[in-house]
């Protein structure tokens, strides 16, 4: 194992290996023993423990809004993931490329590099612009002089970029994503029914019957929560249309951020983007009807790419396979921001 690509997401972390593709796809979470400080679970096992642990155990999610919120926890979690795929140890210290969101500060960018260095035991050989990796993963020809708009709606942020001839002409990031949808659903249920549900329950509701457009509603689901007035557990039936109402404000924020990126794009390229349409990727682009919602709000065609969950990682694979051809185009320079 010589080269790996790391996509540290707010909700999910993915690791790809040159020649092998995506070898790890795990929730960005780790569980610790408070008494010893040792990690006892990571990824899927840790996520299942959220809200279900005794006081001496703690589950942490070290990413917030697409950036690293807790350095030490993130290092230990990533080290655990690298051990799982055999990429951490005395005999295995691969070179790593890491995807970095657009719009981050220099401190936040350095945190990505330092976490990966500490976890892998090797220097990072490439910092990759996340929108460029996403464009490659969506099979966009980044060498053409035609403007293409790509929008990555992740767990903690949404990144938008207009790509044309080897670079992002304009880009932007808003720290709103799938986890904000979950929070909005929790608030809606509490406000409407005086019932408190957990974020995990909200996420299940979002994935099972979540909708963002009247033509994409998917029925109803049954959930349980604690009534704030009586303290009793209460059964609720939530309709798909209610999820749409709950997340609407967050969706408007995302639409406005995309509009801002288009407004800062040169007219010719903005015209190209409206003509060819928006490419949606990221886990939250799977929310039913989101393509119809964005199309109506922005007045342009919208398409969800073929592999929205793995778009950035698939792009990282292509970069690892052709580093000499693509490195100059997709890499983030030492003093560069996009």
Return phi, psi of residue 163, to 5°: -100, 135
Give residues with Cβ within 8 angstroms of 174, minimum separation 6. 157, 158, 253, 254, 257
Give residues with Cβ within 8 angstroms of 94, minimum separation 6. 1, 2, 3, 4, 17, 87, 120, 122
* pLDDT score of 92: 61
Give residues with Cβ within 8 angstroms of 52, minimum separation 6. none
Give residues with Cβ within 8 angstroms of 228, minimum separation 6. 190, 194, 195, 196
CA–CA gap between residue 212 and residue 288 (Å, rounded): 6
Of all residues in the chain, the percent with pLDDT exceeding 70 is 95
The CA radius of gyration of the chain, in Å to the nearest whole number, is 20
CA–CA gap between residue 112 and residue 232 (Å, rounded): 44
CA–CA gap between residue 131 and residue 44 (Å, rounded): 26
87-104 pLDDT, tens digit each = 776 456 678 889 999 988
Q: Once rounded to an integer, what is the mean pLDDT over residues 215-239?
A: 94
279-312 pLDDT, tens digit each = 999 999 999 999 999 999 999 999 999 999 999 9
- Are 26 and 46 a contacting pair, CB within 8 Å? no
* pLDDT score of 338: 47
323 confidence band (pLDDT: 50, 70, 90):
confident
Dihedral sign (CA 136, 138, 143, 146): negative
Return phi, psi of residue 89, to 5°: 160, 180
3 confidence band (pLDDT: 50, 70, 90):
confident
121 confidence band (pLDDT: 50, 70, 90):
confident
Neighbour-count burial of 207, counting CB atoms closer than 10 A to its CB (0-12 exposed, 13-18 middle, 19+ buried): middle
CA–CA gap between residue 264 and residue 219 (Å, rounded): 40
* pLDDT score of 289: 96
Q: Cβ of 182: how many Cβ atoms within 10 Å?
A: 26
Per-residue buried b or exposed e for 218-244, using 16+ beta carbons within 10 Å of the residue's own CB: eebbebebeeeeeeeebebebebebbb
* pLDDT score of 58: 93
> Helix, strand, or coil here: 152?
strand
Q: Once rounded to an integer, what is the mean pLDDT over residues 178-201?
A: 96
Which is it for strands 302-304 and 278-281: parallel, antiparallel or unpaired? parallel
Q: Which helix H or strand E contains 80, and what residues bound it?
A: helix 71-84
52-70 pLDDT, tens digit each = 889 899 999 999 999 999 9
232 confidence band (pLDDT: 50, 70, 90):
very high
Neighbour-count burial of 143, counting CB atoms closer than 10 A to its CB (0-12 exposed, 13-18 middle, 19+ buried): exposed
Q: Once rounded to an integer, what is the mean pLDDT over residues 128-146?
A: 93
* pLDDT score of 89: 60
- Matching residue, tokens 């959930």: 223
* pLDDT score of 336: 53
Task: Calculate the alpha carbon distances from 157 to 5, 153, 315 in Å.
Answer: 20, 6, 19
Lowest mean pLDDT among 19-23, 83-87, 148-152: 83-87
* pLDDT score of 1: 56
What residue ranges define each of the domains in the chain, with the CATH number in brackets? 3-132+312-330 (3.30.420.40), 138-176+251-309 (3.30.420.40), 178-246 (3.90.640.10)
Structure tokens given for 206 = 């979002």
148-160 pLDDT, tens digit each = 999 999 999 999 9
Q: Once rounded to an integer, what is the mean pLDDT over residues 192-218?
A: 94
């Amino acid at each position: 194992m010589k080269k790996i690509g790391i996509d540290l997401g707010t909700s999910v972390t993915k690791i790809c290996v040159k020649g092998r593709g995506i070898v790890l796809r795990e929730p960005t979470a780790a569980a610790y023993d408070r008494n010893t400080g040792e990690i006892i679970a990571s990824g899927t096992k840790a996520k299942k423990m959220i809200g279900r642990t005794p006081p001496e155990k703690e589950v942490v999610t070290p990413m917030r809004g697409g950036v690293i919120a807790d350095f030490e926890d993130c290092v230990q979690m990533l080290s655990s993931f690298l051990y799982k795929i055999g990429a951490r140890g005395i005999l295995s210290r691969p070179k790593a490329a890491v995807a970095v969101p657009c719009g981050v500060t220099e401190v936040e960018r350095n945190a990505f590099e330092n976490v990966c260095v500490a976890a892998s035991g090797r220097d990072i050989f490439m910092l990759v612009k996340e929108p460029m990796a996403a464009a490659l993963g969506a099979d966009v020809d980044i060498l053409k002089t035609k403007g293409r708009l790509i929008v990555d709606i992740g767990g903690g942020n949404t990144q938008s970029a207009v790509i044309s001839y080897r670079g992002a002409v304009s880009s932007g990031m808003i720290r709103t994503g799938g986890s904000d949808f979950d929070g909005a659903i929790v608030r809606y249920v509490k406000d409407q029914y005086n019932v408190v549900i957990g974020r995990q329950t909200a996420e299940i509701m979002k994935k099972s019957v979540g909708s963002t457009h009247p033509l994409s509603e998917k029925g109803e689901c049954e959930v349980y929560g604690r009534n704030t007035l009586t303290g009793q557990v209460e059964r609720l039936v939530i309709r798909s249309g209610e999820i749409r109402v709950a997340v609407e404000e967050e969706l408007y924020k995302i639409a406005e951020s995309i509009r801002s990126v288009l407004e800062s794009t040169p007219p010719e390229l903005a015209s190209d983007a409206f003509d060819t349409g928006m490419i949606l990727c990221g886990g939250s682009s799977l929310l039913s009807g989101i393509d119809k919602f964005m199309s109506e709000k922005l007045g342009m065609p919208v398409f969800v790419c073929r592999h929205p969950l793995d778009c950035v990682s698939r792009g990282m694979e292509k970069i690892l396979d052709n580093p000499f051809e693509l490195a100059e185009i997709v890499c983030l320079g030492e003093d560069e921001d996009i």
